[in-house]
A and B are shown apart, each in its own frame.
Chain A
Amino acid sequence: QVTLKESGPVLVKPTETLTLTCSVSGFSLSNARMGVSWIRQPPGKALEWLAHIFSNDEKSYSTSLKSRVTISRDTSKSQVVLKMTNMDPVDTATYYCARMTIWGSYRPFDAFDIWGQGTVLTVSS
């Protein structure tokens, strides 16, 4: 059974650095057809993609948040970590990690097929 589970603080203060951990099971972070993204959702608002780590350890970041976000992984622990600096109240959201799977060969396509339950974060002094 494939699962992802987010963990981290419930509350951070403005200007602090956030660290979230996604613990995965049931698949390998080194699987060439899989990767893990972080996605967030402010209360009552839409989903926003933040960052992605590929099976070869390459990373991709949202253009708007690239200067503040770092994604990394520890394959021995099956964990993906998101760090976000200089937190602000507008960063208040539910943060999800999700597995991305790639299908096909001639015209590959991908989707976030398994999601964690999400972790609720409030940024407030």
Chain B
Amino acid sequence: SSELTQDPAVSVALGQTVSITCRGDSLRTYYANWYQQKPGQAPVLVIYGKNNRPSGIPDRFSGSSSGNIASLTITGAQAEDEADFYCNSRDNSGNHWVFGGGTKLTVL
């Protein structure tokens, strides 16, 4: 399968740690990237490759992977982290890109 699967919704208490997962066969070959999207805004890349953060992304965001599962971890979640998060990668063929279905993160 070339699909990426995410849990639809996850919640975290303010200041606590949360992980958002992404599952897919292609993740055994390709890294997952993670994007944060707030309402009415374009997605923003937060983690790419093995575990890289673009300039300006807080270090509370980190990425990891094992087998066919990639994870985005937010250590010490802040209110401003509340958003939709999408994973993406190449598909099994390597010739196309796919996105996960998105996870809505609520910070309580």
Interface size bracket, B side: 20 to 34
Flag whether B31 is at the interface (Cβ < 8 A).
yes
Q: Report the bound CA distance from A60 to B93 in whole Å.
A: 12
Verify B54–A113 contact, CB threshold 8 A.
Answer: yes
Min CB distance, B92 to chain A, in Å? 12
Flag whether A109 is at the interface (Cβ < 8 A).
yes
B29 to chain A: closest residue by CB: A107
Residues of B contacting A114 in the complex (Cβ-Cβ under 8 angstroms) = 45
Residues of A within 8 A of B (CB): 37, 39, 46-49, 52, 60-63, 96, 98, 103-104, 109-118
Q: Write 17 A-B pairs (CB below 8 A) sorted by A numbering.
A: A37-B97, A46-B86, A47-B43, A47-B99, A49-B98, A60-B95, A62-B96, A103-B49, A103-B52, A109-B48, A109-B49, A111-B33, A111-B49, A112-B88, A114-B45, A117-B42, A118-B42
Beyond A96-B42, A109-B31, 15 additional contacts (C-beta under 8 Å) are A46-B99, A46-B102, A47-B102, A49-B88, A63-B96, A103-B49, A109-B30, A109-B48, A109-B50, A112-B35, A113-B45, A113-B54, A115-B43, A115-B44, A116-B42
* The 10 A-B residue pairs with the shortest CB-CB distance in the complex, in nearest-first order: A111-B48, A111-B33, A47-B99, A115-B42, A49-B97, A109-B49, A46-B101, A46-B102, A109-B31, A113-B45
